[in-house]
Amino acid sequence: MYQATWQHTTYRFDNLKDLMAKATPPRSGDVLAGVAAASAEENVAAKMALADVPLKTFLSELLIPYEEDDVTRLIIDRHDAAAFAPVSSMTVGQFRDWLLSEKATTEALSRLTPGLTPEMIAAVSKLMRNQDLILVARKVSVITRFRNTIGLKGRLSVRLQPNHPTDDPKGIAASVIDGLMYGCGDAVIGINPATDNVGAIIDMLSMLDRMIDRLEIPTQSCVLTHVTTSIEAISRGAPVDLVFQSIGGTEALNSSFGVTLGILKEGREAALSLKRGTVGDNVMYFETGQGAALSADAHHGVDQQTLEARAYAVAREFKPLLVNTVVGFIGPEYLYSGKEIIRAGLEDHFCGKLMGIPMGCDVCYTNHAEADQDDMDTLLTLLGAAGVTFVMGIPGADDIMLNYQSTSFHDSLYVREALGLRRAPEFEAWLERMGIMEPGGRIITEKPTKALLEHAAGAAA
């Protein structure tokens, strides 16, 4: 039992799970799940009580029982007590103050990461304002490599997302060329396929491989199919760079996606066996999103933001090149408005960075949410200030296959110019060689290079 008094009223919380949920900033998904605070006063009281909880409590009072959930077992079994030692005597509130202090340097946070559980990180995020989430996250540096180097300070990468409703090769190729001309694609050229047919997946992988090879682009490709489909494609000799999978923070949610920790390990080992990376071997790409566990009835009564942080423990286990929260994609039942989406995006980025994963964000919303492109401009800018690893680049910001609104190619030009952010170094050098970019980062807008168009047409044929 936890309790706190606020304005002469004492509020009681049954257990740590209840306290965490009641302390969460308001969002529609927690209301739908029946775990949210009943009032602003109760929310404040829960934050007060949570601030006094010792961090080490999260190692003994587990939100989801160890015996019932393999994600819980992963979190506890991988906990590094030696790394945790510098903050082990702190409460959640004291940990917040330490994170905001000059003592929490990039180096100190890197050493601390293996000693933190996602529940600890989720708890401290609930006590933070948006500016706190930004300030701490920008201190963290998570660097990953495959054919280029992602996550260096002062740099922002972009996933070029050339989706097509019928997987038409010419349509995909046109979007890829469009994105490259804007200097996008250093995170990955990643297609959400309209089909999960293995043959069609291999065709798309082969087309992207031809394009990357002919143009000598220092980037990686991915067709975002199920991990088992990627494993099958690899067994057939397909040129797979990154293995993708949507993941969540509970065993039950991952089961609903048709995956286990063992299957994810098998997918990583299959990709590693191909040895396709040139500067590194981070071969996994994961996507997550607040509300996924509730939509699958796999939440165990835990608030959706804490479950999202637990998903990052799964991601961390497999040393991914990229992880992103598709923050507003699931819909207003889980994040109702632009304000809720903005808050969730900053929380997810903060939690992912402190968990030591290369955290990006699909800055997005669905058309039936109380949000618009101005909200996405705000979130994009805040994430850029927070040091986000990568964002999406979609033609016109409108995904014609998945039917949602995200960020466009020119949005990345805006945030880079506004905040002085550069691309992955290897990719920048390639853009200059191809005559797409001037030294210093300015995209050349006069005309596309002939070689780029000819090679792209050949790859799509």
**Res 454: pLDDT:** 66
As to burial, measured by CB atoms within 10 angstroms (0-12 exposed, 13-18 middle, 19+ buried), residue 354 is buried
pLDDT at 396: 92
Rounded to two decimals, the pTM is: 0.96
The secondary element (H helix, E strand) that includes residue 174 is helix 169-181
Report how far Cα 362 is from the mean position of its chain's Cα atoms.
Answer: 7
For residue 106, how many other CB atoms are within 10 A of its CB? 11
Weakest-pLDDT range from 17-31, 239-253, 442-456: 442-456
Q: Is the pLDDT of residue 384 over 70?
A: yes
Burial of 285-314, coded b for 16+ CB within 10 Å and e otherwise, reads bbbbbbbbbbbbebbbebbbbbbbbbbbbb
pLDDT over 80 (residue 457): no
Q: Which amino acid is at 350?
A: F
| Pairing verdict, β 188-191 and 243-246 | unpaired
User: Which stretches does DSSP call E strand in 120-255?
Assistant: 144-145, 149-150, 157-160, 188-191, 221-223, 243-246
User: Which of the two residues, 451 and 144, has the higher pLDDT score?
Assistant: 144
Label residue 369 by pLDDT band (50, 70, 90): very high
Using pLDDT thresholds of 50, 70 and 90, give the confidence band for residue 458: low
Q: Write out pLDDT tens, residues 192-223.
A: 999 989 999 999 999 999 999 999 999 999 99
Q: Which of 305, 398, 405 is nearest to 345 (CA)?
A: 305
Instruction: Tell me the two tokens of residue 244.
Output: 């993708």
- Mean of pLDDT values over 82-91: 98
Q: Which residues pair with 159 in a beta bridge?
A: 188, 392
- Confirm if 299 and 250 have CB atoms less than 8 A apart: yes
Higher-pLDDT residue of 399 and 206 is 206
Are the beta carbons of 234 and 266 closer than 8 angstroms? no
Q: How confident is the model at residue 444 (pLDDT cuts 50, 70, 90)?
A: confident
pLDDT at 114 over 80: yes
Look at residue 461 in the predicted model and tell me its pLDDT: 62
Residues near 137 by beta carbon (within 8 Å), at least 6 away in sequence: 346, 349, 350, 353, 354, 386, 387
Which candidate, 311, 298, 396, places its Cα nearest to that of 347?
311
d(CA 339, CA 348): 14
Mean pLDDT score of the chain, rounded to an integer? 95
User: pLDDT-derived band of residue 402, with 50, 70 and 90 as boundaries?
Assistant: confident
166 exposed, middle or buried (CB, 10 Å; 0-12, 13-18, 19+)?
Answer: exposed
The CA distance from 240 to 263, in Å, is 17
pLDDT value of position 291:
94
The set of residues, in sequence order, having a beta carbon less than 8 Å from that of 337 and lying 6+ positions away, is 369, 370, 371
* Contact in structure between 315 and 353 (CB atoms under 8 Å): no
Whether the pLDDT of residue 455 is over 90: the answer is no
Residue 460 has pLDDT above 90, yes or no: no
| Nearest-10 crossing angle of helices 198-215, 227-235 | 70
Mean pLDDT of 114-143: 98
pLDDT for residue 276? 98
Band of residue 336 on the pLDDT scale cut at 50, 70, 90: very high
Q: What average pLDDT does the segment 126-139 reach?
A: 98
pLDDT for 151-208, tens place per residue? 999 999 999 999 999 999 999 999 999 999 999 999 999 999 999 899 999 999 999 9
pLDDT digits (tens, 9 = 90+) for 266-299: 999 999 999 999 999 999 999 999 999 999 999 9
Percent of the chain whose pLDDT exceeds 70: 97
For the segment 52-70, what is each residue's pLDDT rounded down to a tens digit?
999 999 999 999 999 999 9
Residue entry with tokens 């990709």: 271
Phi, psi of 12, deg, nearest 5: -115, 145
| DSSP calls for 369-405 | SB--HHHHHHHHHHHHHHT-SEEEEBGGGEETTTTEE
Half-sphere exposure of 327 (CA within 13 A, CB side): 31
